[in-house]
Chain A
Amino acid sequence: MAATIAGVTRPAVPSRGVPHRRRADRRRWRHRLTVLSFLAPALIGISVFLIYPLLSAIYFSFTRFDLLTAPVWVGLRNYEHLFGSDQTAWKAAANTLWLVAFLVPARMLAALATAMLLTTVKRGGSVFRIIFYLPALAPPVAATIAFVFLFNPATGPVNELLAVFGVDGPLWFDSPEWAKPSLVLLGTWAVGDLMVIFLAGLLDVPKPLYEAASIDGASSWQKFRFITLPSISPVLMFAGITGVIQTLQFFTQAAVAASVASGKATTGGGISSTFGYPDQALLTYPMHLYVSGFRFYDMGYANALAVMLFLVAFAVTLVLLRRFRVFVTGGERG
């Protein structure tokens, strides 16, 4: 039972007990057609919305392209600029990687904790579910403004509350050291989307497994480690991979938070004069990409930045896929 529940399918390896191992060619073709019928829309999607934009990004990354006149081939110049002279890009990349390292695990832990807390609630569960999901439901601009105002160092209730306990609160979004941790808090607050996924995963774990474990005298930790974790590991893997990819593209919240903290609140992410406040601490890689492409008209360079981002996301995803497979196998043995 445990094996099938935990099972991340590994189609390349035929597992035992599958009756149709050897088939006549005709049947194999029919099977392929069935698979194709399930996947046909997605294959169209892949070619139009992945391969076409990817190829054009690669092509533009070797050109000088301002969106207004035809692209001009410049060879490796954009990449030379990226690796040779654009210090801002590296600052932005460091900020983004910092966020990947801290925001993704923080969100996963918070989502798992709230989801598990929610599974234990007998009464009023739906009310709590809504409350915890609310921040993720809110339009990001308004939600970010509200959040940053709570953390205003002088007038926000957070520091007022800390002062009650005798703590001199930090400058939060106004301090180069605290700005990114504050952003992690913001991301953790809006964790409702992940929480819903984890909740659905947790509710999917068959109850009899826990009952059987209780009879065997397993502790809560053992139940969590050997039943809950392996059961929801496909969902954890999803959260990890999409978390990394989305954090690599982190844009709106950082842009709005910077504009509010700098004292020039704006409605959109399109005004770049406050990007990065304070002291470039909130300048993320996609913000630099946006500014390069649409404010400085270096769309070719922006595409070079995008290709690098793609490669990093791809590498991290491959690593995560492998790691999780190991992790799941461990769970199976337990």
Chain B
Amino acid sequence: MRQSWLVGVARHSILIAVAVMFLAPFGFVLLTSFMTSEQALTSDWWPSSWHPENFVTIFTQVPMLRYLGNTLMYSVLATLFMLLSSVPAAYALAKLRWRGSNATFVVIICMMMLPPQVVTVPLYLMWADVGLTGTLWPLILPMLAGDAFSIFLLRQFLLTIPADYLDAARIDGCGEWQVLLRVVLPMARPGIAATAIFQFFFTWNDYYGPLLYTSESQEYWTLSLALSQFKHLHHVEWNLVMAATVLVMAPVIIVFFFAQKAFVQGVTLTGVKG
């Protein structure tokens, strides 16, 4: 009894030590966000005077609320579209038997292999032809056609679901779509949640995509672009960049706080599974 208590203490001290290491850079970000522009990025860590008004200045210099709306539209739609297209694809690759599934799987992995710097050129030309540059749609619509990273990740999670459950459902007369909806979706909740969180956060922080496609039309800008709005010809107002960083991160931390509950629920579900 006593020993396990000690182990618990040891474990928690390791955790706390690691946590401090992980948090230190955010202390830097947070402290810098309260500094004057002159003090930012100097060797002085502690603000010589506190400037909470930096957080107000951001809103006067940059239409943050509109950018927030755009970012939400981009992140929510992209995540939703990704799930709609990628979950069935991942299911077909993980749980259905058909000729060519291995090859298709490899081809889907291949979609990640071309560096974005060259892919953007033909794709940008294509979206310009369709007349959709200057909007966020070139970033959202492709999600309807599946996202390679997500398909791969979902497939790996679905592999861990024992085939017995699917076979049982099939014997009960379920079609494959019903198997997916009634059996696989509930069982794969942690994996699907993780994949969705990934997609959501990736789009939330995506800088090069919005820069490439929307930088000429400010009404479509996202929060990540706002971070580069405090740059001048010969210097950057890092205090404002960091304050904006804090604001950009706040919503995702809240989202993650609620989304991670899905994992905890996953534990109880897998408990039933065995």
| Chain A residues packing against B (C-beta within 8 Å) | 1, 4-5, 7-12, 14, 18, 31-32, 34-35, 37-39, 41-42, 44-46, 48-50, 52-54, 56-57, 60, 67, 114, 117, 120-122, 125-126, 128-143, 145-147, 149-150, 152, 154-155, 157, 189, 193, 196-197, 199-201, 203-209, 231-232, 234-235, 237-238, 241-242, 245-246, 248-249, 251-252, 265-268, 286, 289-290, 293-294, 299, 302-303, 306, 309-310, 313-314, 317-318, 321
Contact = CB atoms under 8 A, between A and B. Distances in A.
Contact of A140 (B29, B205, B263): B205
Nearest to B252: A137
B146 A141 contact: no
B6 to A, nearest CB: 14
Nearest to B44: A155
Contact of B26 (A117, A146, A265, A290): A146
Interface in B3-54: 8, 11-12, 14-15, 18-19, 21-26, 28-29, 32, 41, 43, 45
B260 A45 contact: no
> Considering residues A146, A201, A299, A302, which has the most beta carbons from chain B within 10 angstroms of its beta carbon?
A146
A126 B259 CA distance: 10
A56 to B, nearest CB: 4
Given A35-B96, A137-B201, A199 B152 contact: no
Contacts of B119: 49, 53, 57
A267 B41 CA distance: 13
B151 interface: yes
Interface residues of B, number: 111
A199 B11 CA distance: 17
Contacts of A146: 25-26, 28-29, 32
Secondary structure at chain A's binding surface: helix, strand, loop or mixed? helix
Contacts of A252: 207
B109 A241 contact: yes
A156 B12 CA distance: 27
Nearest to A212: B274
Interface of B: 8, 11-12, 14-15, 18-19, 21-26, 28-29, 32, 41, 43, 45, 84-86, 88-89, 91-99, 101-102, 104, 106-119, 121-123, 126, 142, 144-149, 151-153, 155-157, 159-160, 162-164, 175-177, 180, 190-191, 193-194, 197-198, 201, 205, 207, 224, 227-228, 230-231, 236, 238, 241-242, 245, 248-249, 252-253, 256-257, 260-261, 263-264, 266-267, 270-271, 273-274
Nearest to B8: A122
Given A32-B98, A133-B256, A208-B274, A310 B113 contact: yes
A128 B15 contact: yes
A135 B25 contact: yes
Contacts of B110: 50, 54, 310, 314, 317
B160 A234 contact: yes
A42 B115 contact: no
Contacts of B236: 265-267
B157 A49 contact: no
Given A53-B119, A196-B194, A205 B270 contact: yes
A9 B94 contact: yes
Contacts of B91: 38
Contacts of A147: 25
B22 A189 contact: yes
A266 B228 CA distance: 9
